[in-house]
Amino acid sequence: MILDADAGAPAAVSEFGLWLLENGRDTLAVEWLTRAAQAGVADAMQWLGKLYASGQGVERDEAQAIVWIKKAAEAGHLIAQRQVAELGL
| Total residue length of the chain | 89
Number of domains into which the chain is organized? 1
| Tens of each residue's pLDDT in the chain, 89 residues | 777 777 788 999 999 999 999 999 999 999 999 999 999 999 999 999 999 999 999 999 999 999 999 999 999 999 999 999 998 88
Q: What does the H/E/C string look like for the chain?
A: CHHHHHCCCHHHHHHHHHHHHHCCCHHHHHHHHHHHHHCCCHHHHHHHHHHHHHCCCCCCCHHHHHHHHHHHHHCCCHHHHHHHHHHCC
83/58 Cα distance (integer angstroms): 21
The predicted structure's pLDDT at residue 9: 85
Model pTM score: 0.91
CATH number of the domain residue 46 falls in: 1.25.40.10
Residue span of the structural domain in which 16 resides: 2-87
